[in-house]
């Protein structure tokens, strides 16, 4: 009789980090990072003969984004207050900082601005590769996007001014192409997907928060969707995703009024 793979249960998971956003489309791993360089605009088109690490040369779409330097934070963010409503799959950094300041980020500054990755996340091939890299004999249970973001203008009801996961062939400006995104309706932040509101969250603000969107594998059914603000779970009853739309893209789009900033982003698989 075959013996179980004890690494599935007892040993630390081997993780492989993809540290540059420009490599997301051609490098497999368990963890994918997007960091912005205040001295170099990674959203610009690469100059011939230079090292290719600009996002657009790695398959991203980036239009009219403002590369913005961080400022005003305390050392390590100051005091950290853990969330008391962490919900499913908590992490040690679910909580809020006393003064995280403004991180290095990409900022939308006009209607139609887009920053969106290649479609790579959540299909069978990508998740199987993550399992093999991690030394697991089972596929990941979760696909998680953990990201710093602010809606620097949030006063309008604009469902397509949004940040999060988009469907495989998505046009970021199309509401029906959203998979699991966060937007402002002018009063509350909301979770949306496939041209429907999935959940209503906290009152809007223009300050920086750490957001999380988690997709949970649900067998043959569509995945469960959870979302978090500063580590606090926003939906105790999972929203339901849809099938036949993977692999997903990650990014943001702005419409007429609302504006978003996207800072350090970590997308990863977990068990």
Sign of the CA dihedral running 108, 111, 115, 116: positive
| pTM recorded for the entire structure | 0.92
Q: Reduce the secondary structure of the chain to three states and give it as a string.
A: CCCCCHHHCCCCCCCCEECCHHHCCCCCCCEEEECCECCECCCCCCCCCCCCCCHHHHCCEEECEEEECCECCCHHHCCEEECCCCCCCCCCCCEEECCCCECCEEEECCCCCEEECCCCECCHHHHHHHHHHHCCCCCCCEEEEEEEEEEEECCCEEEEEEEEEECCCCCCCCHHHEEEEEEEECCEEEEEECCEEEEEEEECCCCCEEEEEEEECCCCCCCEEEEEECCEECCCCCEECCCCCCCEEEEEECCCCCEEEEEEEEEEEEC
Q: What is the pLDDT of residues 48-107, one digit of tens each?
A: 545 556 899 899 999 989 999 999 999 999 999 999 998 888 889 999 999 999 999 999
Q: Residue 44 has what pLDDT? A: 85
Q: pLDDT over 90 for what percent of the chain?
A: 83
- Kindly report the backbone phi and psi dihedral angles of residue 127, in degrees, each rounded to the nearest multiple of 5, phi listed first: -75, -35
pLDDT band at 1; cut points 50, 70, 90 = very low
Domain ranges for the chain: 13-270
CATH fold of the domain at 13-270: Jelly Rolls (2.60.120)
Q: What is the pLDDT of residues 21-56, one digit of tens each?
A: 999 999 999 999 999 999 989 998 765 545 556 899
Q: What is the pLDDT of residues 121-175, one digit of tens each?
A: 999 999 999 999 999 999 999 999 999 999 999 999 999 999 999 999 989 999 9
For residues 237 and 139, what is the distance between their CA atoms, to the nearest angstrom?
A: 23
Q: Residue 46 has what pLDDT? A: 61
């Amino acid at each position: 009789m075959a013996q179980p793979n004890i690494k599935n249960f007892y040993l630390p998971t081997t993780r492989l980090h993809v540290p540059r956003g420009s490599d997301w489309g051609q490098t497999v791993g368990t963890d994918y990072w997007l960091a912005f360089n205040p001295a170099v605009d990674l959203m610009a088109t690469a100059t011939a003969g230079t090292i290719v690490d600009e996002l657009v040369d790695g398959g991203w779409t980036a239009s009219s984004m403002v590369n913005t330097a961080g400022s005003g934070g305390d050392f390590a963010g100051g005091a950290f207050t853990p969330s008391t409503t962490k919900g499913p799959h908590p992490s040690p950094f679910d909580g809020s900082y006393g003064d995280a300041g403004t991180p290095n980020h990409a900022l939308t500054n006009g209607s139609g601005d887009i920053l969106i990755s290649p479609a790579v996340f959540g299909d069978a091939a990508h998740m199987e590769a993550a399992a093999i890299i991690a030394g697991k004999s089972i596929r990941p249970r979760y696909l998680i996007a953990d990201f710093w973001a602010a809606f620097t203008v949030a006063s309008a009801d604009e469902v397509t001014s949004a940040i999060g996961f988009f469907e495989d062939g998505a046009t970021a400006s199309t509401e029906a192409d959203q998979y699991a995104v966060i937007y402002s309706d002018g009063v509350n932040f909301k979770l949306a997907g496939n041209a429907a509101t999935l959940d209503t969250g906290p009152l809007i603000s223009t300050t920086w928060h750490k957001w999380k969107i988690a997709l949970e594998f649900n067998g043959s059914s569509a995945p469960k969707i959870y979302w978090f603000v500063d580590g606090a779970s926003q939906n105790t009853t999972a929203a339901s995703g849809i099938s036949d739309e993977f692999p997903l893209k990650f990014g943001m789009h702005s419409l007429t009024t609302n504006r978003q900033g996207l800072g350090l982003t970590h997308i990863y698989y977990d068990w």
